[in-house]
Amino acid sequence: MGCTIMMKEKRTVVITGASSGAGRAMATVFAQNGDKLVISSRNLDALTSLAEECELFGAEVLTIEADVSDYKQVINLAAAADNFGPGIDIWINNAGVLAIGEFDVTPMEVSEQVLRTNLLGYMNGAHAVLPYLKKQGSGIIINNISIGGFLPVPYGVAYSASKFGLKGFSAALKTELSRYPNIYICDAFPPFLDTPGIQHAANYTGKSLKPAPPVYDPMRFAQSILKLSKQPKPQTMIGSTSILLRLSYAIFPAITRGIAGAVIRNYLKSAPDIEKTNGNIFSPLPFGNAIHGGWGMPGKPKAHRKYLAGGLLLIAGAVLLMSKSLSQLPKG
């Protein structure tokens, strides 16, 4: 259950990975809410343009170039945010990278950097900001984990390792902080988002990639995060697709993994050939700094309900068939 907390007139919100996609969407939504923003990423040019957009809504904005995989840079980010606030009310761990390809084909240094960014980057953020939150006696850390925290991604082994690791990290941290009732750790699990993330991904398949449909509008996701910042709760599933995928893997893990692998392999057979690339794993790219990636249909909140209904019917049918099969087994 969530709880509504007393709100400052202007909260100080730190967003990592803010230069594109979900991070950029969240910055826009929090700016319209009247919050003070500290936006961070490795791409200073993209941050500068985002700051100008947010300032049009009347927001005060501080831009900080930082790589979350480097703990010293995150320490400096937290110190600058606390000074800008003064104090830090909300810290959103959002920066992330993706590498797609067979595990033994993907260079190990690429997989290592995925873990450094996606897992250690979130740990670096929490470690850097917690002393300020404890001193204040209050604050919120929001982790954008994604459905990848529940559903393993074939051909994205390091990505899955990082997302499953984040669940364990967050669960342990919540338990440790139980004596601080006004410090909240909130995990968000959105489905596949319509962002430029897939365009930035390291790709060792040799094939052009696109996200699996349906994709979710990052602006709707950002609105959900704004709501979470006002009514914090430990875990939030965002979108019907994420609920369906989590349920599917919980009930039929082997079948769900098998289907996911088959879908990806089938797609790769017919996808156009491209050169292999390490994408933005080690440095930002000069393109794809918008909110949307152009894969979906923004602003249609009911579009995914048919997938949820269909998926639940499939699960119910599978359970029924399994029950019948079990009932036909010899007794004794």
- For residue 11, the model assigns a pLDDT of 98
1 within some domain: no
Kindly indicate the confidence band of residue 313, based on its pLDDT and cuts at 50, 70 and 90.
very low
Q: How many CB atoms lie within 10 A of CB 175?
A: 9
- For residue 297, the model assigns a pLDDT of 55
Closest residue by Cα to residue 192 from 238, 160, 258: 238
Strand partners, 269: none
Q: Is the pLDDT reported for residue 100 higher than 60?
A: yes
Q: Is the pLDDT reported for residue 186 higher than 90?
A: yes
Quick check: 72 and 128 in contact, CB under 8 A? no
Kindly indicate the confidence band of residue 190, based on its pLDDT and cuts at 50, 70 and 90.
very high
7 within some domain: no
Kindly indicate the confidence band of residue 114, based on its pLDDT and cuts at 50, 70 and 90.
very high
- pLDDT, tens only, 245-269: 999 999 999 999 999 999 999 999 9
6 within some domain: no
d(CA 173, CA 126): 9
The catalytic site residues sit at 159
d(CA 315, CA 324): 14
> Which range among 7-16, 73-82, 167-176 shows the weakest confidence by mean pLDDT?
7-16
The answer for 239, left when phi > 0, alpha when psi is -120 to 50, beta otherwise, is left
- pLDDT, tens only, 17-31: 999 999 999 999 999
4 within some domain: no
Q: Is the pLDDT reported for residue 41 higher than 70?
A: yes
Positive or negative torsion for Cα 108, 114, 119, 125: positive
User: Which domain, by its residues, includes 276?
Assistant: 12-327
- For residue 323, the model assigns a pLDDT of 43
Say how many domains are in the chain: 1
221 within some domain: yes
Query: Which CATH number does the domain housing residue 119 bear?
Result: 3.40.50.720
255 within some domain: yes
- For residue 214, the model assigns a pLDDT of 83
Residues in the chain: 332
Chain-wide mean pLDDT for the chain?
90
Kindly indicate the confidence band of residue 5, based on its pLDDT and cuts at 50, 70 and 90.
low
3 within some domain: no
Positive or negative torsion for Cα 236, 242, 243, 245: negative
- pLDDT, tens only, 209-234: 998 778 999 999 999 999 999 999 99
- For residue 212, the model assigns a pLDDT of 78
Quick check: 134 and 141 in contact, CB under 8 A? no
- What would the mean pLDDT of 161-171 be, rounded to a whole number? 98
- pLDDT, tens only, 259-312: 999 999 999 999 999 999 999 999 999 999 999 999 875 445 444 444 444 444
